[in-house]
Amino acid sequence: MDTDLDKELKDKRNKASRFRQHVNPLSRKYQEPQVSSTDTSWVSTNFSDPTLPLHLDIGCAKGTFCLELATQNPSSLNVLGLEIRSPVVDYALGRRDKRGLRNCHFLACNANVDVGAVIEGVVENGGRVKTVSVQFPDPHFKKGQKKRRVVTPDFVRVLGDKLTSDKVGDEHIWLQSDVKDVLDDMRDAFREDERFIEMGEGGYWDNNWTGVPTEREISVFNKEEGGEVWRSLFKIK
């Protein structure tokens, strides 16, 4: 007979399985800004101390990584996850509320459209973005779909503009993928912007720099045939 915990876990799996896995970020629906550049009250509303350094996770999915990172740093770090699929964000927010976290939040938006406004909102409320992660983004394998990938030259440019305007010197960008071509593509985009310095002498990182694995990361390493993850770390000049 299933226990209450078994039923709860099954319910979570059933809800998660209903989420659409892939969307086209270039469609008109996702090109409309979702984060106001003038009303930044969402920051103070959702973070008990908006002045804490913030980790920004791009494409956070169901929020497992963000929730764990926030749980491990309750009084020293705010964590914000951006996810393009609104139902997934609602699910992540529900998980956050069950944990009672006041240093974690999730926004439904297209990072390529709204990341600038997001960072501005954090800064206007007395905080700063200390770290940014892009972990296991949708690879968009099909021919002609690479332009849908989240890390583009424009995305890197906006990050560079916003992060360098308020830099302290410890700002980092953390990249991970289980598809080598995707990681290399992201890495090349950051290499081409002179405001970012690649750490580790140009090689791949063996271990997770954050110390907190994502759901995808755990899944890759749990495969019977084994799996690989490619990683790279950049720092603001």
- 3-state SS class at 210: coil
The amino acid present at 106, given as its one-letter code, is F
d(CA 30, CA 9): 31
In total, the chain counts a number of residues equal to: 237
- pLDDT the model gives residue 72: 98
Q: In sequence order, what are the residues at sequence separation of 6 or more whose Cβ sits closer than 8 angstroms to the Cβ of residue 24?
A: 30, 148
Where b means 16+ CB within 10 Å and e means fewer, 110-143 reads: bbbbbbbbbbbbbbebebbbbbbbbbbbbbbeee
Digit-coded pLDDT (tens) for 49-108:
999 999 999 999 999 999 999 999 999 999 999 999 999 999 999 999 999 999 999 999
Given a cut of 60, is residue 205 above it in pLDDT?
yes
Does residue 1 register a pLDDT over 70?
A: no
pLDDT, average across residues 28-50: 93
Q: Reply yes or no on whether the pLDDT at 165 is more than 70.
A: yes
pTM: 0.89
Cα separation of 24 and 31, whole Å? Answer: 10
What's the pLDDT score for residue 114?
Answer: 97
With a cut of 80, say whether residue 225 has pLDDT above it: no
Whole-angstrom distance, CA of residue 161 vs CA of residue 163: 6
User: What are the chain's domains?
Assistant: 23-236 (3.40.50.150)
Average pLDDT of 211-216?
Answer: 94
pLDDT for 167 equals: 79
Residue 7 has pLDDT above 60, yes or no: no
Q: What integer pLDDT is reported at residue 9 of this predicted model? A: 46
6 Cβ contact partners less than 8 Å away, ≥ 6 residues apart:
none
For residue 59, what is the DSSP state? S
pLDDT of 6 above 60: no
| Active site amino acids | 138
Average pLDDT, the chain: 89
Flag whether pLDDT at 25 surpasses 80: no
